[in-house]
A and B are shown apart, each in its own frame.
Chain A
Amino acid sequence: MWDEEYDIVIIGSGFAGLAAALEARKTCSSVVVLEKMQVPGGNSAISGGLVAAAGSPLQAEEGILDSPELMLDDMLRAGLDYNDPELARIVAEKSTETLLWTIEELGVQFKQTLSHLGGHSVPRTYNTTNTSGSGITRPMLVKCREKGIPIDLKTLLQRFITDEQGAVLGVEVRRGYVFPHAGSGESRRIRARKAVILATGGFSQDKAFRRIQNPILSENIESTNHPGATAESLVAAIRAGATPVQLSLIQLGPWASRDEEGFGVGSMFSMLAGFPYGVLIDVKTGRRFVNELSDRKLLVDAMLNTGRESLAIVDQKGVRYASTLGKCLKRGVVKQFGSIEELSQVNQVPLAPLLETIRVYNSSVKRGVDEEFGKPIPEDLLPIEEPPFYSIRLISKVHHCMGGIQINARAQVLDIETHRLIQGFYAAGEITGGIHGASRLGSNAITDCLVFGRIAGRNAAQDPSR
């Protein structure tokens, strides 16, 4: 009947899967992580490595007043109250504890400054020192190796194996699978004596599936995700009785570069410099059209409106936190100019309106209030005036799936008919739905993945062996 047996079988080797594995391993010796790609880490490893935490030590140092309640408010506001408030609250409440776990137990290194991302009331975002999610996945993988948790690559989930009562007993997988060749590898049945934890992420790269959910997302819209971000595990979970929620809520990222593929190095430039310290203009008119620190949904909606061509402009002072600047310049993603005139010429922006836009914006900054679009003006936001100037051409790319399968506060997957938990079945991370509602705030995803990954791992390990 079974080819292999473990106490806990985790599908996916991103933040959620690895967090679950490490937590489960504390009380349970037999844990395995299965990953379909040939490298571990999935989207987590190529993400920006931004972690939101309410009431963190750096906030305390900088005298920023924050609380889980404020973070929850921000999440619900951006999420248009589509959020499951109980799950969202857990993310906010456990955010700082989880951040400290990454520092103390994993040895993750963060920069000593906070970022203020769009839609957050206050700066509450930690940045890994290497400006990448790999700054977190790497220590997690090292820890997994030390703890003897195998990460089995090239292993594709095919279906969940359930009993008559619907409990998940194990999984059927293909070992030796070579992405994306469906028939590759060998079929194996793996038993999970305690539980299966699904942590397979979203489906932003599954163009057919996402178009079914949201017909606006046509084939030619790119994605920031790695190519393996497809929907087959979600489908398998639904087949096993999981409840799909809000699958059509798919987020586009407003900050990705038109001049490179995927998330690249430009996205972090926009997030760390272009939006907070610069202006976002329409190339055709030379004018601003939105508060640059809006949440992602508002930004993307504004950018997609009437086919705008968006360009973010920032000056020498504005790039001081842009840790990917060197790479951006090298790859031609960000261009550097000695003057606004030069910038306007190369980017084909009408000069006079652009100069006027910058003049008005600068005076708003000096006054401390942006009457036009309501961008918050913190003290360290300075006028755009010191050359060299930098520009990045932006295009919206599919980034995150807010929808997924429903879980409860213990990260247990809920049955579509009975609304009760399915025995032996947990889920965490982007595969789950309902936590972020209509729009996920930047830097909340890693927090979510780590918080619920750990909850899933800890609870699954306490389940009785079957």
Chain B
Amino acid sequence: MRDSLARMLADAVDDLFLAWKQGVENQGIVGDGIGDRACFQRVMDGILALVGHGDGVMHPVNMPRIILDEPSSVAFIVEQARLGQAQGVPFPRFLQSFKVLERVAEEYLVGRAVPGQEMLAALLSLRRATDLLEYALIQDWERSNREDTPAPQEQLHPGIVLDQIRNEIFYKGIASLIMKIDAQGLITEASPQTTRFFSDRRIIGRFCGELLDIGVTSMGEILEVFPPDEVREIILNRDTVRYVFEVHLLPLNLEGSDAGGSILLLNDITRIADDRLRFEMQAGDPGHEQFNSEKMRSAIFQSVGEGILLVDQDLEVVKANHRACEIYGLSRQNLIGTDLLALTDQAGAEKLSEFFGRLIEGQRLSEEMTGLYVDGRTFPTRTTVTRIDYAGKRFWTIIVLDTTEEKALENRLRQEKQQTEEMNLTLKNVLRSIEGDRRDFENRISSKIGTAIMPMLEKICKEAQPSVRRSYLNLLGDQLIALTSGFDTELDAGLLKLSRTEIEVCRLIQGGFSSKEIGDAMNLSFETVQTHRKNIRKKLNLNGKNINLHAYLASRACENGALQEVRRERGMSGGDSRKE
């Protein structure tokens, strides 16, 4: 890639020169060597050499070290700048001309018809090389400033130096994202790239820990996560793309600068991380240890709740996470080396085999299947299979979700639904029986009306004596009240059938008198009283029943006083009776 980048640039060196010349002319910085072919050629050669350099150079983190370890690789630019200064080119003007060169080279690359991926890589490499050179330039310039001026603080305030560095370098290149944070970790400034990267978020004033999604809440914790002298990697997800950044926290302890603030540098090393992953994948036997790489680790071991297995071409488990062990009841040692198909039943094995047969690289298929616990218990799973190809070999990641609880919930819901349906049915039946009861009831009422009330009305019609009629009417009213209230006690239609004499006999029986006493009291013969008794029994429907008339009448009287009422309304009270 880098070779081809160097070649691309070398092929276009004439075009680039013309574009650069045009650029510096437009900016009005031509002269004293700038705009010359010789100057251009020296810088260009240096860039090409750097671009063709090994891996390490391109790693932004290594830049300061490279400048220390291999000053020759960047010396040309410093020499060129010094030469320019000697010729009367102030440093900012030289830097500006260099930036123009960087821009035209980038524009040239963008104009080339190369695939996106390759283009990105080329741009990244170029950018890193120019960043490095810029860094070296600034560093040298700063040093020479310090050397030249005995009391730099007086002439050049450190804050101004900082601003310049920030403006000239940081914001434009070396690190991908730059933020300045205060002592509380709140972001006070951010580079344009940073703003772009977090496009949909307000950045200034936000707590950086929150922005970086690292789950910390204080500056103290930030310092724990990103110790100032160390480099840490974090992963940021933006719109489904996963970026890997190296994070440096640089405390600002320059005199005169904001006390306690820091600069947060985030170097985008996504590609490097990916390369590293690929490298690890390819190094050695791809069956095993290389899967310890960052990506796999995060994918496999940071996952919660789901069991993840990595399976090789022999369908043997080569990697398993904690949850997978728990799901199958096997320790990692037992699980690794196990035949995947032994972890499911016949149908599951067939399904998996079919998946393995037809999955293409990167494709993902999901299926409900039975899992087999170590003690032979089976449980429902949702199993997702993805194929990954590495170094010509196939691997599959198997994500297993134990759906026992889910299924139990489903079953419970189903049961509840069924119960509800049964309940509905029962309610319907109850309603129907209530409806039946109601109808029975109506029938009973109409029959009562037919058997008790209608005859009473007839009697009222026939009865000439007003007092008797009134008492019949009262009785009728009571009967109607009884009909509509309670319905608990059965209406005693029998009582209404009794004649006046019979009612009097009843009263006396109720009072505990014997037939002889009743005969004496009513001036009736014993036989007549017995006949009355017989008729009363018949009318009260007590014939053939082993019920004592006295007890019956006593209970009736207690209950509703019907007899008393009948008696009173018929004007039969005490000694008056015989007067009537």
In the complex, the answer to whether A263 meets B330 with C-beta atoms within 8 Å is: no
Interface string of A19-60 (1 = CB under 8 A from B): 000000000000000000111110001100000000000000
In the complex, the answer to whether A142 meets B331 with C-beta atoms within 8 Å is: no
In this complex, what residue of B is CB-closest to A226? B331
| A342, chain B: closest CB distance, angstroms | 18
Q: Is the CB of A141 closer than 8 A to any CB of chain B?
A: yes
Interface string of A119-155 (1 = CB under 8 A from B): 0000000000000101001100110110000010000
State in angstroms the CA–CA spacing of A134 and B375 once bound together. 11
Out of B322, B326, B331, B337, which one reaches A41, CB within 8 Å?
B331
State in angstroms the CA–CA spacing of A129 and B85 once bound together. 83
Within 8 A of A (CB), among B206-255: none
Within 8 A of A (CB), among B299-336: 314, 316, 322, 325-326, 329-331, 333-334
Q: Is the CB of A367 closer than 8 A to any CB of chain B?
A: no
In this complex, what residue of A is CB-closest to B337? A327
Most chain A CB inside 10 Å of its own CB: which residue of B331, B334, B374, B377? B331
Within 8 A of A (CB), among B256-288: 285, 287-288
Q: Is the CB of A331 closer than 8 A to any CB of chain B?
A: yes
In this complex, what residue of B is CB-closest to A138? B374
In the complex, the answer to whether B333 meets A263 with C-beta atoms within 8 Å is: yes
| A155, chain B: closest CB distance, angstroms | 14
Q: Is the CB of B466 closer than 8 A to any CB of chain A?
A: no
B contact face: mostly helix, strand, loop, or mixed:
loop
Q: Is the CB of B56 closer than 8 A to any CB of chain A?
A: no
Out of B287, B330, B376, B377, which one reaches A330, CB within 8 Å?
B287
Residues of B with C-beta under 8 A to A40: 329, 374-375
Given contact pairs A38-B325, A330-B287, A332-B285, A145 touches B334 in the complex (Cβ within 8 A): no
Out of A41, A262, A330, which one reaches B374, CB within 8 Å?
A41
State in angstroms the CA–CA spacing of A141 and B285 once bound together. 36
State in angstroms the CA–CA spacing of A144 and B375 once bound together. 8
State in angstroms the CA–CA spacing of A37 and B332 once bound together. 12
Given contact pairs A39-B325, A327-B337, A145 touches B330 in the complex (Cβ within 8 A): no
Out of B322, B331, B337, which one reaches A45, CB within 8 Å?
B331
Interface string of B370-383 (1 = CB under 8 A from A): 00001111000000
State in angstroms the CA–CA spacing of A145 and B326 once bound together. 17
Interface string of B360-392 (1 = CB under 8 A from A): 000000000000001111000000000000000
Q: Is the CB of A265 closer than 8 A to any CB of chain B?
A: yes
Residues of B with C-beta under 8 A to A132: 334
Interface size on A, residues (CB 8 A): 25
In the complex, the answer to whether A151 meets B333 with C-beta atoms within 8 Å is: no
Interface string of A357-368 (1 = CB under 8 A from B): 000000000000
In the complex, the answer to whether A45 meets B330 with C-beta atoms within 8 Å is: yes
Residues of B with C-beta under 8 A to A262: 333
| A135, chain B: closest CB distance, angstroms | 11
Residues of B with C-beta under 8 A to A134: 330, 334, 374
Interface string of A230-270 (1 = CB under 8 A from B): 00000000000000000000000000000000111100000
State in angstroms the CA–CA spacing of A263 and B333 once bound together. 9
In the complex, the answer to whether A39 meets B337 with C-beta atoms within 8 Å is: no
State in angstroms the CA–CA spacing of A389 and B314 once bound together. 24
Most chain B CB inside 10 Å of its own CB: which residue of A144, A327, A330? A330
In this complex, what residue of A is CB-closest to B289? A332
In the complex, the answer to whether A39 meets B375 with C-beta atoms within 8 Å is: no
Residues of B with C-beta under 8 A to A45: 330-331, 334, 374
Interface string of B331-364 (1 = CB under 8 A from A): 1011001000000000000000000000000000
Out of B326, B334, B374, B377, which one reaches A46, CB within 8 Å?
B334
Residues of A with C-beta under 8 A to B325: 38-39
Out of A39, A46, A264, A265, which one reaches B329, CB within 8 Å?
A39
Residues of B with C-beta under 8 A to A41: 329-331, 334, 374
In the complex, the answer to whether B375 meets A142 with C-beta atoms within 8 Å is: yes
Chain B interface (Cβ within 8 Å of chain A)?
A: 285, 287-288, 314, 316, 322, 325-326, 329-331, 333-334, 337, 374-377
Apart from A38-B325, A39-B331, A46-B331: 9 A-B pairs, beta carbons within 8 A: A38-B326, A39-B325, A40-B329, A41-B334, A132-B334, A137-B374, A226-B331, A226-B333, A330-B316
Q: List 16 A-B contacts (CB under 8 A).
A: A38-B326, A39-B329, A40-B375, A41-B331, A41-B374, A45-B334, A46-B333, A134-B330, A134-B334, A138-B374, A141-B375, A142-B375, A262-B333, A264-B333, A327-B337, A330-B316
Chain A interface (Cβ within 8 Å of chain B)?
A: 37-41, 45-46, 132, 134, 137-138, 141-142, 144-145, 151, 226, 262-265, 327, 330-332
What 3 pairs across the A-B complex have the smallest Cβ distances?
A141-B375, A142-B376, A46-B333
